[in-house]
Structure 1
């Protein structure tokens, strides 16, 4: 039985099938995304969505969708599906779906009378091209396929509407056409591997609606341009490949290219393989540089997300080379920032005060995966430079106080991962001594001290250890309260008593200023008040302002973003903390809890994890459909769990 297979009963029930989405990327910024019934429900959905650098820094939907029609004996059966005003769906092609299988590549099987047609989609790696293979599995008489492309040629942030500026021009190319609706866009080449007829029949399909945008309080309808349609005969057992890309392709090689790309894919036949495939989708190689996108469909490369996600997306799946390749770009960006040079890399929010500390944590994970010697050889100087930049008080919003703690101003702009704003101000104004920033700081001091000592620099190691002693003592005095948990932030006499998950980092990190009893107290309160099957809540239900449901228009969602919603990436650090405290006896607890993540592989966006979940049952997935830090941290904890299980087996053998 397939790990990701959906039968007819689910597929024809739009309440069940429309919320399930699929995502495929080319690892260079382009993607294909839609629902499992091929009905676009977001403005971000499309068959071919690509960056257009000469226009802006956004992705653009060129080919929105492709409607297929099966023709036999003059009867037409349209397999497409669009939503129009009044909750009206047309042409209702989903009723012909017999099965959808996503284990290897997205494959939909349709049955129309005696016709069984299989459709498979694949995105070519590092090329702006999607391929769709149609196989006529069974048919009792002559069959023709008609393909009607729906074009948008607009940013994912906008909509297109019927207008007289859109160009209707097209030119014939080998087995297809090329066209471009507006200046500045690349030409779109649509070709088949077999001779066909293109019928020029330009028209606008008006009032197509996107219910996901309506849910989020945005405009939600647009018009799409259809230049005409392709018709091609197909025989029983025959396969035809449709290609959409921004360059002309050799149509004779389309079948071979399709097969080659399929052979390069890891089947999504298990929880781990689903996450591994998802991990690959966040890679974005452009112009010789290698980035990690924070998520799909709307996120770019953000510095904090990059450093938190990188170990899980690469090292946890034994892809050390990929880690080092991303770090080449990241190190150049870090040095540009620290040197005050003009910033030329597409890594955003580098100026946030915790970013340099997360970079050190990332390199610490590399040292654990490879060796300290290898880490020192590759990144030893970078580690020293990062720490010296902070110790030298060179950061604009990171101030090293005499008590050894780092102070940051977060009243005007968000300075941590809890970054939602309303009316231009942080919803959670974390300012002053922020708990995870100082936990990262203590961990960084101890880690780099050990690294440089092992490298022979005893003098610097002693300086860093002395600094860490002061920082650790102050940390316990400032953050720990009489109830045994940690304040989220402290600013003078202002102490945030809210129970939030950021204290868990202090227990999870390799170096902590807390003793074993203190760690357990923190872990216990996080377990009792913040733990859910889908992640850690951002705020305890017992704390004021608890708002667990991420629904409604933008403002309403902003206020809920970090006020009770559950985030899976925090679960990675929680599980690490749990294993650190309970050691081998904690293995079964971690294994049981990961089942809640396994369940998500067939929901929301298939084989990946969404940005966040509601903090209360039934813990519905919300936000971005695929989020790098979530996928990364679950992969990292799976890797860590495997190591603990190996130790347990060794213990049992003794």
Structure 2
């Protein structure tokens, strides 16, 4: 049986099937996403969702869905599914689903009387094109297939409603049509690989609802425009391929493209391969540059996310070339930032004070996984320039103080990964000496010392070594409290020490170089285990600390206040497990494997085959936020590979 497989019992139960989503992307910013029963439950869902730079920086839903109808003996059986007002679903096509699997590509098997129809969906790499292949596995009489496209032509953050401005015109192209609902949008080409009849029957389907948006406190209904339907005969054993894209295609190539795209996919036949498959979906190539998207369906490329995720998404999968291409883009952005020049790359938040520290960490991972010699050759100069920039306090918001630690101002603007805001102010105003900033700073100093020693730069080696010694003592003096854990931040300006038990101290244990002694690291690790560890990651705040709010539910404002106040984050569990293996080595391998089990369960829930953004901090640990999150996938991948060094 397939690894990701759902039978008829689950697929016909909407309470169980609707929460399960499926995502495909094309590495150029476009994606296709819906539920496993093809009922859209978010405004972000759609068969073809693409970036249109001429209209803005968001993605745009062009083709919302495609309803299939099987016709036999004049009787029509509609396989589509939409939610309408009053918890009404129509036309209830899910009741015909026999099974769904996702080993190679998302595949749905329908049974309508004697008709057995297989549907496979692939998203073409680097092309804004969704391809759907229908194969008639069995039929006892003549069968007709009707395909009815539901069009939206809107931004993912907005809705479309019935209006008189819509352009109903269409033009025939090879085995299909092209149409465009509004000026400024690209033409949508819908074609099949065999001759068909397009029946022009324009209408609006009104009041389609998206329950996930209702759950999140947003508007949740829209009207979708249907220009008509495609009709064609299909024989037993025959495959028919439908394409929707932004350019016309030779329809004779559709079968070949569908075969090729399915063949090159990483099979989702086990936990590791699911993560690898998911990792590939974050790759983003545009205008000659390579990026990592922070997550789907709404995140762009963010500097911190990209640097933390890059080693796990590429290096551990032996995709060194992909790492190097992305780092080339990162280096361009970093050098432009350090030179005070406008950014030519599409990386957001590169000005945040910890970004350059994460860049050094990212380079360090390359040295560990590839080779330190090659690391120095490719990135030694970049690492050196970053460290000189930081050590001379050239960064506008990261200054090296007399005690050797780095200091950042975060009262008026969120500058760490805990970046939720309300009324323009940080909800968690972490400012001053921030614990993970200084753990990364110490690690970067020692790594720089290691590089200088390797290449024989004695004077620079001594310089970084002296700075590290100074920072090591100051780190303990500033952060280590009498209860054995670390202050989250200390602001000497306001004489403030944050006693909250937060997961940011785990970095002082997990990184290659730590300013803490072994007993101190074990105490910090134990407190993280007792107060922060859940089956879905580390809590962002201990239940024993004031302001604990673990349920990420309700309207936007309510969710913002819970975002970093007790919710659980899987990517932090990656560093936690690395710290565990670093401290206890082979004796804790079985423990780490048990922690990973909590994430393997996610391959069959929520967005199948990937890991969502965050979870509630209390049982039953519901998944929340973005349906697929790069840092989470990357860090779990990194640990899966890391554990192999100990599990022998």
1:604 and 2:606 matched: yes
Cα deviation code 1:311-345 (max 9, x no counterpart): 00001111111100100111001111111111121
Name the counterpart of 2:394. Answer: 394
CA shift for structure 1 position 104: 1.1
The partner residue of 1:579 within 562, 578, 581 is 581
Name the counterpart of 1:230. Answer: 230
1:3 and 2:3 matched: yes
1:355 and 2:363 matched: no
Name the counterpart of 1:632. Answer: 634
1:42 and 2:38 matched: no
Provide the secondary structure at the position in 2 that maps to 1:224.
strand
Name the counterpart of 1:617. Answer: 619
Provide the secondary structure at the position in 1 that maps to 2:224.
strand
Cα deviation code 1:420-458 (max 9, x no counterpart): 111111111000100000000000000011102211211
Name the counterpart of 2:514. Answer: 512
Provide the secondary structure at the position in 2 that maps to 1:580.
helix
Name the counterpart of 1:184. Answer: 184
CA shift for structure 1 position 76: 0.6
Distance 1:232 1:521 in 2: 69
Q: Following superposition of structure 1 onto structure 2, how do residues 503-542 of structure 1 map, counting pairs within 5 Å?
A: 503-542=505-544
Distance 1:197 1:370 in 2: 56
CA shift for structure 1 position 612: 0.3
CA shift for structure 1 position 357: 0.3
Distance 2:342 2:598 in 1: 45
CA shift for structure 1 position 372: 1.2
CA shift for structure 1 position 353: 0.5
Distance 2:571 2:595 in 1: 14
CA shift for structure 1 position 600: 0.8
Distance 2:252 2:622 in 1: 46
CA shift for structure 1 position 116: 0.7
CA shift for structure 1 position 611: 0.1
Distance 2:363 2:356 in 1: 11
Distance 1:425 1:13 in 2: 44
Name the counterpart of 1:208. Answer: 208
Distance 2:370 2:48 in 1: 38
Q: Following superposition of structure 1 onto structure 2, how do residues 263-274 of structure 1 map, counting pairs within 5 Å?
A: 263-274=263-274
Distance 2:271 2:193 in 1: 35
Cα deviation code 1:225-253 (max 9, x no counterpart): 11111000001111100000000001011
Cα deviation code 1:204-262 (max 9, x no counterpart): 11111100001000011111111111000001111100000000001011111111111
1:593 and 2:621 matched: no
CA shift for structure 1 position 464: 0.8
Name the counterpart of 1:385. Answer: 385
Name the counterpart of 1:487. Answer: 487
Provide the secondary structure at the position in 2 that maps to 1:314.
helix
CA shift for structure 1 position 641: 0.4
Distance 1:591 1:67 in 2: 43
Q: Following superposition of structure 1 onto structure 2, how do residues 313-462 of structure 1 map, counting pairs within 5 Å?
A: 313-462=313-462
Q: Following superposition of structure 1 onto structure 2, how do residues 244-263 of structure 1 map, counting pairs within 5 Å?
A: 244-263=244-263
Cα deviation code 1:246-303 (max 9, x no counterpart): 0000101111111111111111000000000000000000111000000000000000
CA shift for structure 1 position 537: 0.4
Cα deviation code 1:119-177 (max 9, x no counterpart): 00000111000100001111111110001000011111111111111111100000000
Distance 1:342 1:431 in 2: 27
Provide the secondary structure at the position in 1 that maps to 2:646.
helix
Name the counterpart of 2:476. Answer: 476
Cα deviation code 1:167-189 (max 9, x no counterpart): 11100000000001111111100
Distance 1:370 1:267 in 2: 25
Provide the secondary structure at the position in 1 that maps to 2:37.
coil
Distance 1:334 1:208 in 2: 45
CA shift for structure 1 position 99: 0.5
Name the counterpart of 2:551. Answer: 549
1:559 and 2:561 matched: yes
Provide the secondary structure at the position in 1 that maps to 2:135.
strand
Cα RMSD after superposing both structures: 0.6
Distance 1:428 1:65 in 2: 40
Q: Following superposition of structure 1 onto structure 2, how do residues 285-324 of structure 1 map, counting pairs within 5 Å?
A: 285-324=285-324
Distance 2:621 2:216 in 1: 18
Cα deviation code 1:363-389 (max 9, x no counterpart): 000000111110110001100111111
1:13 and 2:20 matched: no
CA shift for structure 1 position 643: 1.3
Distance 1:152 1:134 in 2: 24
CA shift for structure 1 position 394: 1.2
Name the counterpart of 2:60. Answer: 60
Distance 2:562 2:407 in 1: 26
CA shift for structure 1 position 191: 0.2
Name the counterpart of 2:646. Answer: 644
Distance 1:327 1:355 in 2: 13
Distance 2:396 2:206 in 1: 51
Deviant stretches of 4+, over 3 Å: none
Provide the secondary structure at the position in 1 that maps to 2:133.
strand
Distance 1:345 1:222 in 2: 35
Cα deviation code 1:82-118 (max 9, x no counterpart): 0111111111100111101111110111111111111
Distance 1:336 1:168 in 2: 47
Name the counterpart of 2:117. Answer: 117
Distance 1:306 1:206 in 2: 40
Distance 1:145 1:383 in 2: 59
Provide the secondary structure at the position in 2 that maps to 1:594.
helix
Distance 2:146 2:28 in 1: 31
Distance 1:471 1:517 in 2: 19
Counting matched residue pairs gives: 646
Name the counterpart of 1:151. Answer: 151
Cα deviation code 1:483-542 (max 9, x no counterpart): 000000001221010100000000000000000000000000000000011100000011
Provide the secondary structure at the position in 2 that maps to 1:610.
coil
Is there any run of 5+ residues in structure 2 with no aligned partner, and where?
none
CA shift for structure 1 position 395: 1.0
Is there any run of 5+ residues in structure 1 with no aligned partner, and where?
650-654
TM-score, scaled relative to structure 1: 0.98
Distance 1:72 1:638 in 2: 50
Provide the secondary structure at the position in 1 that maps to 2:543.
coil
